[in-house]
Amino acid sequence: SGVIAFYYILVKWQGKLLKPSLGNIVLTIRKSTDVFLNNLMPNLYNSFSMVLLGFFGGEVANGKLDAGTKFVNIAQQFLSVLSRAFFPFLSRKLDKHQFYARVNLALSLCMSLLLFLFAPLIIDWFFTDEFVDSIIVLHIMSISIVFLALTNIYGTNYMIIAGYERQLRNITMVVSIIGFALSFPLIYYWGFIGAAITVTMTRGLLGFGIMFRVKTLKR
């Protein structure tokens, strides 16, 4: 697909490759700092939860958490692809944001409901009996799909497009620090279930926090 894309750009559309100046590179990096931090900060509660769980609960606990999150991650990737597909369209026609929000929310609710209802069947089909505890992880994490959709809808595909990158970064940083702080007691006392609660609860705070901020900005 990359070779075909370059054929269209360079041959069919007569596009030219230009060497960027050092000044333009530095300016681009500076302008992208807020977006970079916005993408980086969720690792404080997301990836760190797995590290902390491995420290407190060991490999078995990490395996149960991983099994319960695999299908949620697949749904997350699908929503990310949808978000990236709509991004250039919304950059030109932000007035169509409401339509995109309805489509994304409807899909995320369907995926969340399906994973929640079929969690026992999914774990039984794809994993061995030792992973039966992963069902509750999938139940908890399936809820986070809707929260991820809210973040994509109102964060990536509204606040960044509308020029509110810094406000989005601030919300993400505050919520990520809260999730980081919550991960210690929750994982220490409830292990892999605590890790699933940490990630889901923090994604909920982030999704709703961004959504309410956008509602305020629109008013």
- Measured from the Cβ of residue 46, the count of other Cβ atoms closer than 10 Å reads 18
Handedness of CA 99, 103, 106, 112 (dihedral sign): negative
Average pLDDT in the 120-130 region?
A: 93
Residue-level pLDDT at 58:
85
Residue-level pLDDT at 39:
85
Average pLDDT in the 133-140 region?
A: 95
Residue-level pLDDT at 170:
94
- Give tens-digit pLDDT for 79-101: 999 999 999 999 999 989 999 99
Residue-level pLDDT at 51:
87
- Tell me the C-alpha distance between 201 and 13, whole Å: 48
- Give tens-digit pLDDT for 45-82: 888 888 889 888 888 999 999 999 999 999 999 999 99
Question: What percentage of residues in the chain have a pLDDT greater than 70?
Answer: 100
- Tell me the C-alpha distance between 119 and 114, whole Å: 8
Q: Is 74 exposed, middle or buried (0-12, 13-18, 19+ CB in 10 A)?
A: exposed
Question: What percentage of residues in the chain have a pLDDT greater than 90?
Answer: 77
